[in-house]
Structure 1
């Protein structure tokens, strides 16, 4: 569906290779289903639980096609449902492995809806699932690597490593946000306000009133070929009890909009009893509510095993399809208050993900405010944007001098440039030197000074950069740049140094400088041999950056060549000298 809600045409044709063969990803699996009344809810729309089962089955088949052995669902990233599917419409699911790691792999899932009579298509949702290969013997599983066959697959392959990094840091991010003083102060005020009884406030609904508990017996029909319960079946049962809890609040059917990450903590098997519990954790002013749901398993008198937990965002729609206001929730003591606060934290994280990651690049402001709670997503977006830019296949060679090439790319009314050359310096050493922006003024005349003002973590740093004025007599420009450094994940991957503007409350714009902004810039460094590396510098220009390179792109000068030659000379002179990042770091915010 288009961004304005209109249906769009769908092109399902497979790309044609240079030799005339039609390319088809060897791991791709497709499922097509007509939505029947038995798949629908009382609104004659496809049940989300049924959709999750079909998505999980399709993704599992794709994972097993690549692994050549049984696979189990480890997690499913956030899912945002953009469109509902009605009875009689056709559901199309495509799944293919984006990247394999040691024993796990990321599977990309795309879901669309087709109206056969109107010849229209809608995007329903996109998801990324992680599957783990299970050995049938004693040998340790080590998955073979993928060979991307198209430009889009190459981009997904490259970005999958960054998504994996973000998943692994999600739990720590949640803990850090909950423990921050600013968050605790804000939540304490919110809870006290919620507890205040005044005439203008709608009566609160006790959270206990929305509690749901249900039990399911795992039968052979619920299990896969490994006799384990289908991950999709567990997710479907969880969606069912969550919908009941959400609907109890307003005595109306609730519509599921977003699911936070599913994380499977352990398997369940045929004969298990699955206990499913759901309760509303919080309601928000934008007419949405968060429902927490967990699944536990047991057999006989054994203790409960935690299988899965998830958090789902629901809305209740009026007759015209608009979200209805929701009454406030009064949390239970102790665990209820904890869940109430955690729901606020998850909402903050969810908004950061949607605002920073899910938006089109043109919808994201140049400088996003940085704070500890969104730094994981800003860092992800920083690396993702550079990899997307580097992965474009329509670069045009504008000029070349002394083996330094200047390439340009015009796309969506945006001009991008790439400067590229090879140097006789090992890639790891070049990466270490180029990622230290405090030394960039030693070779780049456009950097007067670069001071590291905050070390976010081992791989992400924030710099205050000064550059000369573009016009004679004008103000010096300054930038607040987030530098995200990434070594290769696997053989053949590049080293990456991604740059983008952020804002810091400790360094607001001043009258002394003209504050500039960088949307996407940075280096990729490929290892050509043990002693040679290919270095590419990228920049997605904006009006503040374009004057620095405009004469080069127009062919009126070749300063790009002299600058990159100075870069190569700097790398050669320091190829064995230790490079120490600036130690002048402010206290983390």
Structure 2
């Protein structure tokens, strides 16, 4: 059942996939596929589309669509989608990181599509896709993707939202991963502080050319805006998209003061609305370059509100960090001057900008990278642990949500499904046990107990307890043959409890690299890209247990024995797991109760 169970998979592949046409395929979206075939088309009921022709009045100093204007359109489209689901007014709570992949010129069309991925209690995640279209050539480009959180309000009280029921494979994936993204948003600030506290960011200011340094105070911008009726939304509050546009404006000015050129906005790190403002409020917008790197700079922006000129207590409305670059005639980034931070608070912002850059680069690699392009073992580091954990869980949920699993065999109510997809071959085992789902989750979360039922786990050592939900283990497996070395694995185990009723318990497993656990001559280092368990409650004291494993072609030999016949390796291991759960159904699992 682990990542190297047996050596004869190739023998079984021909019989598995040659008989695929006669096997039963799992598909929860057959009705919707039929509708698509009939020309009716399935459309998410919360989906909203907006198309805008870019006019000269929408552009910036480079005759490109102003990002501020784009943010207004994005926020409007997302709000309409949120309100379509909620049936009442909604306000923007936050907008996640946005990476701009393409600029948009005058005369091109901007197409924005938004739909609700998941609703929680009173908040919901809205996914947004932005593309540009050239009317002359019919070419289209991806501009950016965004995720916004909206909160439903009715007469100043929060609204309990109805749940989203995903229909397509894409919707199921987004619905499942939305809970993990929500968790990631909540711990982001802690990640920055932990990184700075545990691993101080080293700076090479001593090696920098001081003659090309710009004092940070020279980039400081402060601007005030009076909120007028045209700036308000349909609820009377200041339109969130307008605030974001004003923030982009002052940030661009600050960036221009460093480079003395017209900068290009490349990324935005999370707008976070901390409170509303209304018509008549004065909004003070402040921006400063926090740090400059070789080809990019970070600008910090914050917004404060006050009502009367004599008012001394200002309300913090929003804040964000924006990354700019200066592009030459060949659209390549130019080298930027260094920044000299202000003493005290400026030095703190300077160090935090370096930490955010490291996290941003790691996140871009882990989250944005296609799974087929990612190495199996990614180095574990405080700057990427949140995103590596996120990727671990989301990869398993994405695998579980796929519709084209094929039932290959069934013996004694244990089912084996297979999936051949791109460069991967995956299998999925499923059974129902008479043990409560929460207890199953506790028993299987601690990998140290896995040798009790899985002979392919010879020994398991807990290397690092990252937090209450993530642990790193060193696993040793027996040799595949008499003349081979035993295998070892360094495994990140990410466990998640259900976010809502009907969600699965999740235990996601993937390989990571740790400096403290290098390869040794005694073992052959094995790797796994995506594997783990999902558990669903099937009734009182009944749980559906599903195990998933995904492997590249190079790891096929280490998956299992003959798949087509549901060999004794699969059957005996999974039945041993069932017996382990039944024998320990009343176990308090003290090793996990303290986590």
TM-score normalised per structure 2: 0.91
Q: Secondary structure at 2:159's aligned position in 1?
A: coil
Q: Which residue of 1 aligns with 2:169?
A: 151
Q: Secondary structure at 1:30's aligned position in 2?
A: strand
Q: Is the 8 A contact 1:151 1:392 kept in 2?
A: yes
Q: Is the 8 A contact 2:112 2:131 kept in 1?
A: yes
Q: Gaps spanning 5+ residues in structure 2: where?
A: 1-31
Distance in 2, matches of 1:511 and 1:256, equals 49
Say whether 1:64 aligns with 2:83: yes
Quickly say closer, same or farther: Cα 1:46–1:193, change in 2 above 3 A.
Answer: same
Q: Is the 8 A contact 2:303 2:318 kept in 1?
A: yes
- Following superposition of structure 1 onto structure 2, how do residues 88-107 of structure 1 map, counting pairs within 5 Å? 88-107=107-126
Q: Is the 8 A contact 2:410 2:566 kept in 1?
A: no
Q: Which residue of 1 aligns with 2:62?
A: 43
Cα shift at 1:564: 0.6
Q: Gaps spanning 5+ residues in structure 1: where?
A: 1-13
- Following superposition of structure 1 onto structure 2, how do residues 336-375 of structure 1 map, counting pairs within 5 Å? 336-375=346-385
Q: Is the 8 A contact 1:99 1:157 kept in 2?
A: yes
Cα shift at 1:541: 1.3
Cα shift at 1:231: 0.7
Q: Which residue of 2 aligns with 1:172?
A: 190
Cα shift at 1:112: 0.7
Q: Secondary structure at 2:427's aligned position in 1?
A: strand
Aligned length: 561
Q: Secondary structure at 1:142's aligned position in 2?
A: coil
Say whether 1:204 aligns with 2:213: yes
Between 552-561 and 387-396, report the one with greater CA deviation: 552-561
Q: Is the 8 A contact 1:400 1:406 kept in 2?
A: yes
- Following superposition of structure 1 onto structure 2, how do residues 537-556 of structure 1 map, counting pairs within 5 Å? 537-542=547-552, 545-555=555-565
Say whether 1:499 aligns with 2:509: yes
Between 518-527 and 397-406, report the one with greater CA deviation: 397-406
Distance in 1, matches of 2:566 and 2:471, equals 35
Match of 2:235 among 226, 235, 245: 226
Cα shift at 1:43: 2.1
Distance in 1, matches of 2:369 and 2:559, equals 28
Distance in 1, matches of 2:306 and 2:463, equals 52
Q: Secondary structure at 1:539's aligned position in 2?
A: strand
CA RMSD between the two structures:
1.9
Q: Which residue of 1 aligns with 2:264?
A: 255
- Following superposition of structure 1 onto structure 2, how do residues 207-356 of structure 1 map, counting pairs within 5 Å? 207-285=216-294, 287-300=295-308, 301-302=310-311, 303-356=313-366
Cα shift at 1:581: 2.9
Quickly say closer, same or farther: Cα 1:558–1:202, change in 2 above 3 A.
Answer: farther
Cα shift at 1:545: 4.4
Match of 2:464 among 454, 463, 475: 454
Q: Is the 8 A contact 2:423 2:553 kept in 1?
A: no
Q: Which residue of 2 aligns with 1:29?
A: 48
Distance in 2, matches of 1:15 and 1:51, equals 34
Q: Secondary structure at 2:200's aligned position in 1?
A: helix
Say whether 1:385 aligns with 2:403: no
Distance in 2, matches of 1:504 and 1:574, equals 33
Q: Secondary structure at 1:324's aligned position in 2?
A: coil
Q: Which residue of 2 aligns with 1:5?
A: none
Distance in 1, matches of 2:285 and 2:84, equals 32
Distance in 1, matches of 2:130 and 2:36, equals 29
Quickly say closer, same or farther: Cα 1:317–1:147, change in 2 above 3 A.
Answer: same
Cα shift at 1:298: 1.3
Distance in 1, matches of 2:327 and 2:554, equals 45
Cα shift at 1:27: 1.0
Distance in 1, matches of 2:494 and 2:250, equals 41
Cα shift at 1:372: 2.6
Q: Secondary structure at 1:73's aligned position in 2?
A: strand
Q: Which residue of 1 aligns with 2:152?
A: 133
Q: Cα deviations across residues 492-550 of structure 1 (Å, max 9, x unaligned)?
A: 11110000011111111111111111110000111111121111111111467432434
Distance in 1, matches of 2:594 and 2:226, equals 60
Q: Cα deviations across residues 165-190 of structure 1 (Å, max 9, x unaligned)?
A: 0000011111111212x325x24xx3
Q: Secondary structure at 2:591's aligned position in 1?
A: coil
Say whether 1:84 aligns with 2:103: yes
Q: Secondary structure at 1:257's aligned position in 2?
A: strand
Q: Secondary structure at 1:457's aligned position in 2?
A: coil
Say whether 1:161 aligns with 2:144: no
Cα shift at 1:583: 11
Distance in 2, matches of 1:177 and 1:105, equals 29
Q: Cα deviations across residues 53-97 of structure 1 (Å, max 9, x unaligned)?
A: 000011111111111111111100000001111111111111111
Quickly say closer, same or farther: Cα 1:537–1:250, change in 2 above 3 A.
Answer: same
Distance in 2, matches of 1:473 and 1:433, equals 34
Q: Secondary structure at 1:270's aligned position in 2?
A: coil
Distance in 2, matches of 1:324 and 1:545, equals 43
Between 171-180 and 83-92, report the one with greater CA deviation: 171-180
TM-score normalised per structure 1: 0.92
Which is bigger in relative contact order (C-alpha 8 A, separation at least 6)? 2
Cα shift at 1:121: 1.2
Q: Which residue of 2 aligns with 1:183?
A: 200
Distance in 2, matches of 1:344 and 1:264, equals 24
